[in-house]
Chain A
Amino acid sequence: MSDESERDLSAAFEELRAPASTANYASRSSGLDIPSTRSHWPQAMASALAVAVALAGAGTFLAIRSARQGGVASSGAAANPPARSGAAMVWDSTAGMTIMFGGSGSRGNTLNDVWTWDGSRWTTAAKGPGPLTDVRMVDDPADGGVLLLGVPAAAISNGGGVSGCVSSGSGTAVGSSGSAFATPAAANGGPAIAIATAPANAPTPASPPPGSGALPTCTPTVVAPTEQTWLFTQHGWSHPAVRGKATTPPAGSQLAYDSATRQVVAVSTGYSSCGLPLGVASAAGPAIVCPLLGAPSALTRPIHCSAVTSCTGGATLTTWTWSGTAWKAEPAAAVEAGVITLLFRDPTTQHATLMTSNGGGSACASLPVGVAPPPCPEVPPMTSTWSWTGTAWHLLSQQFIVQATPSLLGASVTPVSGHIVVLTGAGDTWTFAAGQWTQDTVAGHPSVRSGAAMAEGPASTVVLFGGSAGGYAYPLASGIAPTGSQATLGSDTWVWNGTSWRHVAGAAPAQPPVIGCPKTSSGLIPPCAPVPGKVAPASSLSSPVPNLHIVPQGVATPTP
Chain B
Amino acid sequence: MIAAMTGRQLEGAATPFDEVYREHADAVYRFCVSQLRDAETAEDITGDVFAAAFAAYERVHPDDAGVRTWLFRIARNAVIDQYRREGRRRALLARVGRDRQFADSVEETVERRSDLRSIRTALETLRDHDRLLVGLRIAGGLSFAEVGAVLGMRESAAKAATHRALERVRATLRKQA
Contacts and interface: CB of A to CB of B under 8 A. Distances in A.
A479 B45 CA distance: 47
Contacts of B124: none
Interface string A159-180: 0000000000000000000000
A378 interface: no
A142 B82 CA distance: 9
Interface stretch (A7-15, A265-273, A310-318): A7-15
Interface string A76-99: 000000000000000101101000
A34 B51 contact: no
Contacts of A18: 25-26, 28-29, 46
Interface string A298-342: 000000000000000000000000001000000000000000000
A96 B73 contact: yes
Interface in B57-108: 59-63, 66, 70, 73-74, 77-78, 80-81, 83-84, 87
Interface in B131-177: 134, 137-139, 141, 148, 151-154, 157, 163, 166-167, 169-170
A23 B21 contact: yes
A58 B78 contact: no
A417 B154 contact: yes
A13 B29 CA distance: 10
A37 B2 contact: no
A46 B5 contact: no
On chain B, which size bracket covers the interface? 35 or more
A315 B91 CA distance: 34
B6 A61 contact: yes
A31 B49 CA distance: 9
A22 B29 contact: yes
Q: Is the interface of B mostly helix, strand, loop or mixed?
A: helix
Contacts of A260: 127-128
Given A22-B43, A49-B2, A262 B128 contact: yes
Given A22-B46, A32-B78, A46-B59, A10 B154 contact: no
A446 to B, nearest CB: 22
A47 B49 CA distance: 23
Contacts of B28: 18
Interface string A456-468: 0011100000000
Interface string A51-66: 0011000100100010
Given A61-B5, A93-B152, A459-B154, A28 B47 contact: yes
A26 interface: yes
A13 B80 contact: no
A349 B128 CA distance: 10
A350 B161 CA distance: 13
Contacts of A519: none
Given A16-B26, A18-B46, A28-B47, A42 B56 contact: yes
| Residue among A6, A144, A458 with the highest chain B CB neighbour number at 10 A | A6
Nearest to A456: B152
B11 interface: no
A28 B51 contact: yes
Nearest to A65: B6
Given A18-B25, A25-B53, A50-B1, A12 B109 contact: no
Interface string B1-32: 11001100000000001000100011011100
A65 B2 CA distance: 10
A293 interface: no
Nearest to A390: B87
Contact of A37 (B33, B63, B80, B81): B63
A418 interface: yes
Nearest to B132: A259
Contacts of A533: none
A10 B31 CA distance: 11
A29 interface: yes
Contact of B53 (A34, A49, A94): A34
Contacts of B29: 16-19, 22
Interface in A273-297: none
Given A25-B50, A25-B54, A32-B49, A13 B84 contact: no
B10 to A, nearest CB: 10
A499 interface: no
A536 B163 CA distance: 41
Given A9-B119, A12-B113, A13-B33, A37 B60 contact: yes
A142 B80 contact: yes
B138 to A, nearest CB: 5
B129 A30 contact: no
B138 A418 contact: no
| Residue among A26, A32, A458 with the highest chain B CB neighbour number at 10 A | A32
A1 interface: yes
B52 A34 contact: yes
20 contacts: A1-B166, A9-B169, A12-B113, A12-B115, A16-B109, A19-B43, A22-B50, A28-B48, A30-B51, A33-B77, A34-B60, A37-B62, A37-B66, A37-B70, A61-B6, A65-B6, A262-B128, A350-B129, A417-B153, A460-B153
Given A16-B30, A141-B80, 12 more contacts: A9-B138, A13-B116, A16-B26, A16-B116, A21-B47, A22-B29, A24-B51, A37-B70, A141-B77, A142-B83, A417-B157, A459-B153
Query: Ordered nearest first, which 7 A-B pairs have the shortest CB separation?
Result: A18-B25, A30-B51, A30-B52, A32-B52, A18-B29, A25-B50, A28-B51
